[in-house]
Amino acid sequence: MKTRTKDSAVSDKDRAYRRRIAAEGGHQLVVALPRETVALIDELKARDGLRNRSQALLQLIEQGRLATQQST
């Protein structure tokens, strides 16, 4: 019988999270950012009442996309 460790429980949890994200049509992305950038993202998240950093990043990306489309 295989003994479940804390690491394997975390892995199961991570896999389940990735499956939920994929089922919703999303994809998990890990990035390394400067602290100042993360602070800005957190500031936008708090200011706009967003649930998580992903929503703040999506908002920034959409604003950039709109600005790019308007300038062409």
Domain carrying residue 72: 31-72
Please tell me whether residues 52 and 64 are part of one structural domain.
yes
Same domain membership, residue 37 and residue 66: yes
Rounded Cα gap, residues 6 and 9, in angstroms: 5
Number of domains in the chain: 2
- pLDDT the model gives residue 7: 62
Q: Report pLDDT for 47.
A: 97
Residues 56 and 39 in one domain: yes
Q: Are residues 20 and 36 in the same domain?
A: no
- The model's pLDDT over 51-61, given as tens digits with 9 standing for 90+, comes to 999 999 999 99
Q: What's the confidence (pLDDT) of residue 5?
A: 60
Whether residues 20 and 46 share a domain: the answer is no
Backbone angles phi, psi at 57, to 5 degrees: -65, -45
How sure is the predictor about 1, in pLDDT bands with cuts at 50, 70 and 90? very low
pLDDT tens by residue, 3-43 = 556 666 778 888 898 899 999 999 888 999 999 999 999 99
| 21 and 46 fall within a common domain | no
